[in-house]
Structure formats: C-alpha cells, structure tokens
Amino acid sequence: MLFKRRIQDSTHGPTTYVAASTTIVGTITGKGAYVFCGSVEGDCDIDGPLTLAEGGRWKGILKATDIVVAGVVEGDVVAKQRVEISGSARITGSLSGNSIAVAEGAIIAGEIKVTSGEAPVTFQEKRQA
C-alpha cells in the first residue's frame, strides 16, 4: 500500500471548489472533498477532506474528516483524522485531530490537541500545493 503524506494526495472522486471571489455565510454540510478559496463565515461539518486554500478566510468552526489549512481561520479546527497546517496558515483557535502536522512558518494562537496521544509533527514545505 502506498502511503500518502499529504491529505490532498489521497482524495478520490469529484471535488467541490469554492472560488476566491465567493463569500458564504451560514452552515455548510456535505460529503466528499471540498476546497475553499474564498471567504466563509459560519460552521461546517464535512464527511470528507476539506482544504482552506492560501488566501482563503474562515470565521467559524471547521469540522471534517481530514483538514488542510493554508489560509486564515478565526475559530476551531476539528478533524476526525488528520490535520495539515501549511506554512502560510494563520489560525486563531484550537486544533484537534488524530494526527497533526504543522509546517514551519504557520502561526497558531490556540491549543493543539492530538487525539491519538502522539506529539504534533513539524515539517518544511518542499513542494507546491
């Protein structure tokens, strides 16, 4: 079995993209892969991987199976499985996930809780998103 370090490498099926010029206000629920490039004010509960792209902004609770944050979050990030924080990420809120990887340069103002009991992992980003 091939191990994929990055959450984006292991997604299957169609992906829902939200453009950079889009603003969403409200609660978002769904199943499948989602990539948010715009602004969101509200909470979400996604059954699948969620990516907040660089330049994206989120105010509220991000909850999904796997989460990649490269943008700005004002609120908590809660993953059932993995959380990956890119070097461009700015988070004001807590992080929770079974495993958490944080790139050098990321700013997190809040508690980090790894539910598996393992320590968070740091990494240097060596490839483009």
User: What mean pLDDT do residues 89-96 have?
Assistant: 97
Query: Using CA atoms, how far apart are residues 73 and 92, in angstroms rounded to an integer?
Result: 6
Full-model pTM: 0.87
pLDDT in tens, 71-85: 999 999 999 999 999
User: What mean pLDDT do residues 48-60 have?
Assistant: 97
pLDDT in tens, 14-52: 899 999 999 999 999 999 999 999 999 999 999 999 999
User: What mean pLDDT do residues 3-10 have?
Assistant: 47
